[in-house]
Amino acid sequence: MTKEIVLTQGKVALVSDHRYEYLNQWEWLAAKSRKKGNWRVTRHSKDECGRKITVSMCRIILNAPKGVQVIHNDGDGLNNQDENLCLVVDQYGKRCSKCKKRKPFTDFDKNSPVRDGFSNHCKDCKSKHNRRWRGSNKTHMKSILKAWRSNHPKYNKIWRQSHPDKIAAGKRKYIIKFPEKSRARNSVQRAVRKGELPRVSSLSCIRCGCQAQEYHHHKGYAKEHQLDVVPVCNACHNIIDSS
């Protein structure tokens, strides 16, 4: 037996008889898709973090997990009877709303307020956006990082001690990606151990005069220039590399 739940905009939702009392405890809205023009039944709620989210009636009825779509067999989003609903696993992921490319779910960050549980922008598009934003807000970013580091002085040391496997994996990945640079840096480290180069901590930055923290390969990373280095601090090294 079918029962009706009154919605906004003069619409009604059809539900199975045994679900009527449970679903009727909330106030449901009739929402129309701007692109497709079809109707669906939703209500406003909050997630575990207190953020506002939109919940679909069909997903509550089937208890649909994140990443799984719910389709209406007759195409009517207002008909939420059990026999009209079906779960479909999208093996091809979702389409990024920025680059318009369909990608697997692994290419999207998790985002619980979104209906399928994943961000609408893929990781590549978010990375490009973040890089552009950081590039145009360098002063603001420096102030944020400086404040965070002053409030968490031992965070990096503790993290490195707690994750040696991640540190080793990152080093292996870096060597594969930048083999010439890695060989040049290893040559400098060997020269320091043998006494052919002084420890960088005993030198001053050639650019700003403060205590040096790294050696900079100012002539490149070719084999004949592996030991052609100058002492610089971290800040000046970043400025030189970005220029």
| Percent of residues, the chain, with pLDDT higher than 90 | 51
Q: What is the pLDDT of residues 189-226, one digit of tens each?
A: 999 999 999 999 999 999 998 999 999 999 999 999 99
Mean per-residue pLDDT, 106-116 = 79
Report the pLDDT value the prediction gives residue 192, as an integer from 0 to 100: 94
Report the pLDDT value the prediction gives residue 230, as an integer from 0 to 100: 94
Which residue has tokens 């580091």?
149
Identify the H or E element spanning 226: none
Top mean pLDDT of 34-38, 112-116, 141-145 is at 141-145
Question: What is the C-alpha to C-alpha distance for residues 65 and 117, in angstroms, rounded to an integer?
Answer: 9
Give DSSP secondary structure letters for 127-183: HHHHHHHHHH-HHHHHHHHHHHHHH-TTHHHHHHHH-HHHHHHHHHHHHHH-HHHHH
Domain ranges of the chain: 2-89, 147-177, 178-243
Report the pLDDT value the prediction gives residue 197, as an integer from 0 to 100: 94
pLDDT exceeds 90 at position 50: no
Question: What is the C-alpha to C-alpha distance for residues 162 and 104, in angstroms, rounded to an integer?
Answer: 31
- pTM (predicted TM-score): 0.42
Using 50, 70 and 90 to split pLDDT, how confident is the model at 67?
low
